[in-house]
Amino acid sequence: MVIALDGPAASGKGTLARLISDHYSFAYLDTGTLYRGVAWLVLKEGGDPADPALAAAAAQGYAIEKIAGADIRTKEVGAAASVVAANTAVRAALLDFQRRFSEKPPKGAKGAVLDGRDIGTVVCPDATVKFFVTASPEVRAHRRWLELVPARPGLEEAEIYQDLLERDARDAARDDAPMAAADDAELLDTTHLSIDAAFAAARRVIDGVFRRCG
């Protein structure tokens, strides 16, 4: 059993993925952390995320221990992540790990939940259930601002809004595995949904598919 969640920044993918993984006892992989981790490694060395060889080397040598304790959630790392994510060598280096996680989830879990941009289209095209999670850019920017402002007082919501739009455009326009809804993905617009309501909607879809699968 594999559940795929894709969608733009701060649409609520990660929140849903975590709730789904707890509820169904599935293992969870936030694939954005891989791209953020690679970007952080490049930035740490003072490198340019747009340098193809530098980003590829960071992805090929990537290990979770290398980013232990790093703050990869900042908007600068997010922006750099979407630059390294357009690099085909970077995507290729990270693909096997994601596929293996979905095919053989750790700790004997009965299934896996993965969230990102290309899970339903490229990483797990045969996923049992696919969601494409969206929300209006204004709502997404407000949610992300609420998360980031405590650590950075004075951070403008308008800056986050601009940042998300640029990142979404780059993610949707790249040639390799662009952000896209799979043809068989369930669209979930969370603009006016609380976390509980979004989770209830996702559960209805998943339970329906599980019943049909027996």
| Binding site as annotated, residues for ATP | 7-15
Stretch that binds ligand CDP, among 54-62, 150-158, 180-188, 192-200 (CB under 6 A): 192-200
Q: Cα–Cα distance between 34 and 62 in angstroms, integer? A: 8
Q: What single-letter DSSP state applies at residue 29?
A: E
9 contacts ligand CDP (rule: CB under 6 A): yes
Amino acid at 126: D
Shortest CB 212 distance to ligand CDP, Å: 26
Q: Indicate the pairing of strand 27-30 with strand 112-116.
A: parallel
Helix or strand holding residue 188 (H, E): strand 186-189
Window 112-171: residues binding ligand CDP (CB under 6 A): 116-118, 143, 147, 167, 171
Which of 69, 214 has the CB closer to ligand CDP?
69
Amino acid at 80: A
Window 76-115: residues binding ligand CDP (CB under 6 A): 78, 81-82, 85
96 vs 22, 25, 77, 103, 149, CA distance in Å?
25, 23, 23, 10, 35
Which residues line the annotated binding site?
7-15
Which residues are at the interface with ligand CDP (CB under 6 A)? 7, 9-15, 31-32, 35-36, 78, 81-82, 85, 116-118, 143, 147, 167, 171, 190, 193-195, 198
